[in-house]
Structures are given as C-alpha cells and as structure tokens.
Copies of this chain bind each other. A is one copy, B any other.
Amino acid sequence: MAVIKAHGNLLSTATQRVLACLYEKEVEFQFVPVNMEAGEHKSENYLSVNPFGQVPAFEEGDFKLFESRAITLYIAHEYTDKGNQLLLSGSNKSMAVLELWKEVEAHQFDPASSKLVWELLYKPLFGKTTDTAVVEENEAKLAKVLDVYETRLSQSKYLACDYFTLADLHHLPTIQYLLGSPAKKLFDSRPRVSAWVADITARPAWSKVLAMQKK
C-alpha cells in the first residue's frame, strides 16, 4: 500500500478541506507541512507537486495530484469502501445533484466567503487593516447565497441529499473561520443553515482537523 502524503499548511482552508476528507475516509496519511512564510511553496521541489505553487498537494506513491476538490474526489472514489460514504451513487441524475452542490460551493459560496475570511481573519493575523467596504460587499453576496441554502435545506437534510457528502464537507474550513468572526451572524439568522452548520462542524473527523491546529 503506497504511502499517502498530504502537503499543505494548517492555516490554509484548501489544505483543511483535504485533511477533513482523509479523516472522514479513515485513510492513513502523513501530513507534510509546507513553510509558506519561508516561500517553500514556490521552491522547485514543491512546484513539482503543485505547479501553481499553492497548497495543498497530494501524493500516493508515484501518483500526484493538486487542487483540493480534485484530491477529495479522488480520495472519496478510491476509498469508497472505507470510512464515511461521501459520494452519491446511482443514476446520472442522482450524481448530478452532488456535482451541482459541489459547483455551488466552489463558485457561489467560496468566492464571497473566502474574501470575508481574508478580510476578517487573515489580514488581522498578518497585521494588515480590514477593508470594511469589501467586508460589507461580500457579506451581502454571502447572504444571498445562504438564502438559497436556507431554501435548499428545507427540501434536503444536507445539501446534495439526506446524508453528508463532499458537497457539505467542502464548506467546512471557510465556515469554521467565519464562525470566529462577525460574519457568524449570517449563519445564525437562518435557522436551517444554522442547524446544518452546527451539525457539520461537530463531526468527529472535522474535530481531528481542528486538533491538528492546536498542536
């Protein structure tokens, strides 16, 4: 069995996305920290695993992969019989529903929420000043996305179907950060979104990712 290495940075939401998936699937792996402050992610060595010089990157023996959502999909397929089922098997129409909500996370939720995380969490961490206009703009955008989620979650227990899948998992890192910011109110004010957030952030696999950050 080839060794799995997850390269990344524990502060990075994309890295956390992959770690969450590995823990959900109960797959053994080595975490290989990438020292971004020292510019390691732009080193020739690292560029051979991720030519865009971003985290995370994934290795399984000779097999290499990057882009967090390509990595999670690979893990979910390859280890489909281990740990929690993160996919939605069935007809092409059933599988399309999972694909849809994964696209929604990537193209609707993530842009607005990532900008909020940058302004409200990373900037203060790096001693920079939050741009309140950008915050307001993206809170308004995220609010509209969450209105769609509120409606969806009245039809479906989780985003894609009645159980937790990659579509929900992909949200965890950004949601966790926003829970520690004033933007938390956007979740709190929407009952079904709020319940879904509480549910998915309480998952044991996610707690393991959070525990890594505390070491």
Report A's interface with B, CB cutoff 8 A.
51-52, 63, 65-67, 69-70, 73-74, 77-78, 92-93, 95-96, 99-100, 102-104, 106-108, 144-145, 148, 151-152
Complex Cα spacing A70 to B99, Å: 5
Residues of chain B with a CB closer than 8 A to A107's CB: 67, 106
Interface majority SS on A: helix, strand, loop or mixed? helix
> Of B51, B65, B106, B148, which is within 8 A of A52 by CB?
B148
B70 and A92 contacting across the interface, CB-CB below 8 Å: no
Complex Cα spacing A102 to B107, Å: 13
Complex Cα spacing A144 to B54, Å: 13
Complex Cα spacing A55 to B100, Å: 14
Residues of chain B with a CB closer than 8 A to A67's CB: 99-100, 103-104, 107
Counting every copy of the chain, the complex holds: 2
Q: Specify the chain B residue showing the minimal Cβ separation from A152.
A: B51
Q: Specify the chain B residue showing the minimal Cβ separation from A54.
A: B108
A74 and B52 contacting across the interface, CB-CB below 8 Å: no
Q: Specify the chain B residue showing the minimal Cβ separation from A106.
A: B106
Q: Specify the chain B residue showing the minimal Cβ separation from A104.
A: B67
Q: Specify the chain B residue showing the minimal Cβ separation from A50.
A: B148
B108 and A52 contacting across the interface, CB-CB below 8 Å: yes
Q: How far is the CB of A64 from chain B (nearest CB, A)?
A: 10
Q: Specify the chain B residue showing the minimal Cβ separation from A78.
A: B92
Complex Cα spacing A131 to B173, Å: 33
Complex Cα spacing A70 to B98, Å: 9
A66 and B100 contacting across the interface, CB-CB below 8 Å: yes
Complex Cα spacing A74 to B90, Å: 13
A92 and B108 contacting across the interface, CB-CB below 8 Å: no
Q: How far is the CB of A22 from chain B (nearest CB, A)?
A: 15
A148 and B103 contacting across the interface, CB-CB below 8 Å: no
B52 and A73 contacting across the interface, CB-CB below 8 Å: no
Residues of chain B with a CB closer than 8 A to A151's CB: 51
A93 and B74 contacting across the interface, CB-CB below 8 Å: yes
Pick 12 A–B contacts, CB within 8 A, sort by A. Answer: A52-B145, A66-B100, A67-B99, A67-B100, A69-B99, A70-B100, A70-B102, A73-B96, A74-B93, A77-B95, A77-B96, A106-B106
